[in-house]
Structure 1
Amino acid sequence: MASTSLSTALTVVAKPKIRPGVTSDSTLTHIAGILGYTAFFLMAATVIWGILLATRMADRQIRRQTLYGGHLMLTVLALGFAVMHAQVQYFRHDVYYTQSKILLPWLGGAASSISAGILGLEVVVVVTISIWFQHRMNYRRWRWLHWLSYPGFVLIAVHSAVASREQHFGVIWAAMAAVLFVALVLTVMRVLSPAMKQDQPDQWFDVVEEFENGIYRR
Structure 2
Amino acid sequence: MPDVSLWHVARASGFVSTLLLTATVLLGILGPMRVGTPSWPRFTLAGLHRNISLLTLVLLAIHLAAVAIDSYVPITWADLVVPFVSAYHPFWLGLGTVSFDILLALLVTSLLRPRINPRLWRVLHWSAYLCWPLALVHGLGIGTDALSGWPLGLSVFCTAAVLAGVGWRVIAARKRILARLS
TM-score band, normalised by shorter chain: 0.7 to 0.9
1:123 aligns with 2:102: yes
Counterpart of 2:50 (choices 54, 57, 72) is: 72
The structure with more radius of gyration: 1
Find 2:131's aligned residue among 152, 165, 169. Answer: 152
1:182–1:168 CA distance, 2 compared to 1 (3 A):
closer
Gaps of 5+ in 2: 178-182
Larger deviation: 40-49 or 186-195? 186-195
Between the aligned residues of both structures, percent identity stands at 23
More helix by share: 2
Q: Which residue of 1 aligns with 2:180?
A: none
* SS in structure 1 of the partner of residue 146 of structure 2: coil
Evaluate the alpha carbon distance shift between residue 167 and residue 138 of structure 1 in structure 2; reply closer, same or farther with a 3 A threshold.
closer
TM-score (norm 1): 0.72
Report how many aligned residue pairs link the two structures. 176
The aligned residue for residue 117 of structure 2 is 138
Q: What does residue range 47-126 of structure 1 map to in structure 2 within 5 Å?
A: 47-59=25-37, 61-110=39-88, 111-126=90-105
Cα distance change of structure 1 residues 32 and 120 upon mapping to structure 2, 3 Å threshold: same
Task: Identify the match of residue 142 of structure 2 among 159, 163, 167.
Answer: 163
Q: Which moved more, 1:181-190 or 1:164-173?
A: 164-173
SS at match of 2:73: coil
The one-letter amino acid paired with 2:105 is V
**Gapped runs of 5+ residues in structure 1?**
1-22, 199-218
Give the alignment's Cα RMSD to 1 decimal.
Answer: 2.4
Give yes or no for contact 2:35–2:42 (8 Å, CA) kept in 1: no
